Amino acid sequence: MTTDLSVYLDQAQRAGAESVEVYYSRSFSRPVFFEANRLKQLESSESEGVALRLWKNGQAGLAVAMARWNRKY
């Protein structure tokens, strides 16, 4: 998934979209778990997504793509 959002705008406009909105989201989470004051587990998760809202011939359309990565240590 590219973070160069202009790529998505260009592709939608080449496909004939009259108006386009691009949304991008990325998040990180790194919870740490302790038990009896000792480190029990480390985790890491990351998610990223792009959504396109576009209009063509007066009709609205929506496309969403998400990716998620989880790791346990």
How much of the chain, in percent, has pLDDT values that exceed 90? 62
**Is 0.85 surpassed by the pTM of this model?**
no
pLDDT at 68 over 80: no
The answer to the question of residue 27 being in a domain is yes
Q: CA nearest 56: which of 24, 13, 26?
A: 13
Residue 45: give the domain boundaries.
Answer: 6-72
Q: Do residues 15 and 8 touch, judged by C-beta distance below 8 A?
A: no
- pLDDT digits over 27-62, tens only? 999 999 999 999 999 989 999 999 999 999 999 999
Please tell me whether residue 11 adopts helix, strand or coil conformation: helix
Domain count, the chain: 1
Q: Are strands 59-72 and 32-35 parallel, antiparallel or unpaired?
A: unpaired
The answer to the question of residue 1 being in a domain is no
pLDDT confidence of residue 56:
94
Contacts for 52 with CB less than 8 Å, ≥ 6 apart: 8, 12, 20, 21, 22, 23, 61, 62, 63, 64
